[in-house]
Amino acid sequence: MKSVFIFIPDVFHYNEARKLRGFIKNYKNTISFYILTNASSPIIGFCNDNSSQNNVAPIDENQPTQIHIHCKTGQILVNGLDDVYEITCIMYDYLAFKKCDVSTFDCNHYGEYFSTLIRAVQNEKSELSTNGHSLSLLIFFFVINIFLKLINACQRVLEQLLFFLRYSATAIHLHQTVETMKWALKSLRQQQRVTLIVGNIIMSKITDFLCGLLMLYFIVQYKATLILFAYNTIETIVEALEKLLLFLMGAPAGLKLNSTFNLTLGTFYSYHVTLWRAFLHASSPLLSFALYLLVFPGACGLSFQAALLSDLVAFSTFHIYCIYVYAARLYGVQMKGLISLWRLFIGRKYNPLRKRVDSHQYTHNQLFIGTLVFTVLIFLFPTTLLYYAVFATFRITLISLNGLLLRLRYFLQCFPMYTMILWLSNSPSVRGAVKLSLLNNVSFEKCRIYVSLLTLPFWQSIQNTLPETLVAIKPVSWNILFRAIVMGSLI
């Protein structure tokens, strides 16, 4: 037995003679009739008061399979089917399917029947919206194409310079913003309407712009105070670092360190801090210029100011990163050396070909030299570990600050203001959960199912409307981070 599904909009009235328009789609064991309201759709049946199925001639000779609805009784018949069939009539909420966002609906995967239905209703809406608006559409496409050309030119320039600017948070953020705006404009040109994702992008940019103007007003209003605060903060950090190095060069916390090696490391690191302090004093007149760098991106938004602030923090703490690299490399060499020499004592050796630790027979000379080197490394290791632990803590603190600024930029880029407003107002655009209910009092024969759309949960609505070009922040792998810290790898 072959099943027949007939989808009827709830705005359809059968009390007058009319042609039924829509389309027919054949599946494996079913045939579906989708009735639409668009007058330009193909004819798939008729509605009149003729109750004879055999005496009714098809309206369209090229479409022998048609449906017939009786005007008075609401009886539904299907003409042109050879096999025995079972009719299931489904009434759907036309306005909900018409105003629902297709991308939100597709995320729930409700099957091919409803996916075909919502696309047919959405295409019908787009066809109706284009009729009689040819001039406005031409202007719309003209403006979109101009913006796309400008964005493409800017993107080509950024791609050429991205190799040199890949370590700059501002350049990376600008590149992501250009890609997001390019995708939004292409979506507008293709779909000719503001979808939830495009609406979120537009509203997030407006929110970002307003927050940037607010921060811009604050910076201009308290310019002298901010310059003095930044200068004092940098000077305090440098002085605190020098005092910390002097403290480590002594006997910190009563630790018994190698005095000669400790003095060598402390002097080496202090020399780098002195060089960086001299550079900061020489570039102090440029501090006000750096403050103006935070002012100009205010026209682009708070996210650009956060990206530039991240670059300024990385630039002003470059000496800490250099000292961390020196300490990490030295610590890593000693740690790997101690691990290798420890395997020597237990008769083991790492096999790089098979990437495993195998048994190995060492000579007396190898054991003697290995013991001497192991003794030297083990007595120098506490001094190296002390400096590495201190500057690794500084490095983790700066990475955490950079991560907070990165998450602030990500939040401003995907802030779902548009979706929040629609969700709070219970708009049909954020509906996507299919609800099937039984109909008791219905005029159509064999029509017992009503399909409506419910509003999705708030968090699911937000997840379904994130921009596709926005790269999600990778979660922190604590195992990898802990292993890198213990083994002395750079983070």
pLDDT tens digits for range 33-54: 888 887 778 888 888 776 544 4
In this prediction, residue 99 carries a pLDDT of 83
Same domain membership, residue 400 and residue 266: yes
The reply to whether 243 and 386 lie within a common domain is yes
User: Whole-angstrom Cα distance, residue 442 to residue 285?
Assistant: 81
In a domain, 30, yes or no: yes
122 and 147 fall within a common domain: no
Domain shared by 301 and 316, yes or no = yes
Same domain, 281 and 377: yes
Asked, for residue 465, whether it belongs to a domain, the answer is: no
Region 457-469: mean pLDDT is 79
Percentages helix, strand, coil for the chain (3-state, rounded to 5) are: 60, 15, 25
Q: Is 323 exposed, middle or buried (0-12, 13-18, 19+ CB in 10 A)?
A: buried
What is the C-alpha separation between 223 and 78, in angstroms, rounded?
78
| Same-domain pairing of 333 and 402 | yes
Is 365 contained in some domain?
yes
Do 183 and 282 lie in one domain? The reply is no
Report the pLDDT averaged over residues 334-344: 88
Q: Indicate the helix (H) or strand (E) that contains 64.
A: none
pLDDT score at 293: 64
Look at residue 292 in the predicted model and tell me its pLDDT: 67
Is the model's pLDDT at 440 over the cut of 80? no
Is there a single domain that holds both residue 285 and residue 349?
Answer: yes
CA gyration radius for the chain? 35
Of 77, 110, 130, the domain-final residue:
130
pLDDT tens for 277-325 read: 888 777 777 766 766 666 666 667 888 888 888 888 888 788 888 889 9
Residues 72 and 161 in one domain: no
3-14: average pLDDT: 81
Number of domains in the chain: 3
Residue 173 has pLDDT above 80, yes or no: yes
The pLDDT of residue 126:
54
Say whether both 36 and 147 belong to one domain: no
Distance CA 53, CA 69 (A): 10
Spatial separation of the C-alpha atoms in residues 94 and 36, rounded to whole Å: 9
Whether residues 373 and 248 fall in one domain = yes
pLDDT band of residue 442 (cuts 50, 70, 90) is low
| Tens of pLDDT, residues 348-404 | 888 777 878 878 787 888 888 888 888 888 888 888 888 898 889 889 999 999 989
* Same-domain pairing of 112 and 148: no
Q: In which domain, by residue range, is 11 found?
A: 2-130
